[in-house]
Structures are given as C-alpha cells and as structure tokens.
Amino acid sequence: MATTLAFDVYGTLIDTHGVSLALQGMVGTRAAEFSRHWRDKQLEYSFRRGLMQHYASFATCTRDALEYTCESLGLPLDVEQRQLLLDAYRTLPAFDDVKRGLENSRAAGFRMFAFSNGAADAVDTLLETAGIRGFFDDVVSCDEVKSFKPNPGVYAHFLRRAATPGASAWLVSSNPFDVIGAMSAGMRAAWVRRSPQAVFDPWGIAPSVTVAELTTLAAAIGVAD
C-alpha cells in the first residue's frame, strides 16, 4: 500500500498569521501580538472543549478566541472589524513553500489528505482559495467525530476514512502537540519546524523526521521509509 500523508492545515499549510495585514489597519503595531494571542487562545479553546467533551465547531473556537483577545489586550474592535477578521480567516494564504512541497509529494506517489480541526466545508474553501485543493484525495475533518486533535479518536477516525493502517500513515504538522498525538495513536509524523526558534515538547517522543519546509518533505519521508 502506498504511504498516506495526512497534512495538518492551519499553521502547516496555511499561514494563520495571514490576518496580520488586516490587523495592522485596526491595531497598528500590535498586529503581530494580537495574531499570536488569537491563535494561542483558539487552540486552547479547542483543547478545553475536547477534554470537556463539550464540542463546538472550530469556527466557534476561533470566534470566541477573537472576543477574548480583544478584551485581554484592551483593543475593543467593533462588530464590523471583528467580522472582517473572521472573514479573513476563511481565506488565509498558504506558506510560500507549500505548493512546491505538495508537488514533490504528489510526484513521489504518496496518497495525500488534508486533516484538520476545521469543518470540511471551511477547509475546502481555504484550500481552494490558496490554490492547493487539487493536491488532496480528500479532506478529513475532526468535526466529523465532534472532537479535536490530539484526541486519539480523531487519528483513528483519519485512519478509517483514509482506509490505511497506522504503519502506512504519516501526519505532517508544524504543531508539536499534533505530532505527539499522531505518534501516540500509532502513526509516524513529520514535524515542520517553520522557525529556528520553535521548540519541540520534551515528552520523550521525537518526530519521525523534522523538516524546515515542505519542499524537502518527500525526500525525508522516502529515506525514513
């Protein structure tokens, strides 16, 4: 069976800080700080909802995190500004290395899926807008099982949907929690270390491979296989 790649979307393929341009017109020099707080809180809310088994969509986590960030940083954006930011989140750009990296992975013969906390329709729109939807056999959403990464059940759901055993499947993610979650669920995983300052969690679980960008992913997995 061909090796299957499960690509995380937000933060791995798609630059979640792509809202910074819109933010600059609203909060000026605090745009990067705002974007970082918003992303951190978005993930925190998904973790908490998953643990509580009190599911709400990733879009709801994103909206609630935006509300929190405005209050936390003392930047009371109006309703129209907040909606503009939420709309921008649906059309975020891909990182510069993504298209060529996906081309390399497709040429290597891998089966390729987008695997995301986001709802399938939102992810489809995001990937279409970024011009990369055609690389993927399908979109697998955690929304289908009403939970979030790194719940072991969502990785098991991916393996069922992709009709592949864990030994033949790789998660590709820039998020250490996602890499550790997938490996704990029996998959292999590639960590995309997009910044030299990024630190992997010291849990005694190392990524199967680490790459600085997606252009070298296919070669790294080929060596590991």
Task: Answer yes or no: 178 catalytic.
Answer: no
Dihedral sign, Cα of residue 103, residue 108, residue 112, residue 114: negative
Distance CA 204, CA 206 (A): 6
- Please identify which of the residues 8, 15, 97, 178 carries the catalytic annotation: 8
Cβ contacts of 112 within 8 Å, gap of 6 or more: 4, 5, 7, 102, 105, 106, 135, 136, 137
Cβ contacts of 211 within 8 Å, gap of 6 or more: 190, 191, 192, 193, 217, 220
> Peptide bond preceding 165: is omega within 30 degrees of 0, i.e. cis?
no
Provide the edge-to-edge strand list for the sheet that holds 169-173.
138-141, 111-116, 4-7, 169-173, 188-192, 209-211
Closest CA to 177 of 169, 167, 165, 185: 185
Q: 31-37 long-range CB contacts below 8 Å, 24 or more apart?
A: 33/73, 34/69, 34/73, 34/75, 37/69, 37/72, 37/73
The catalytic residues are 8
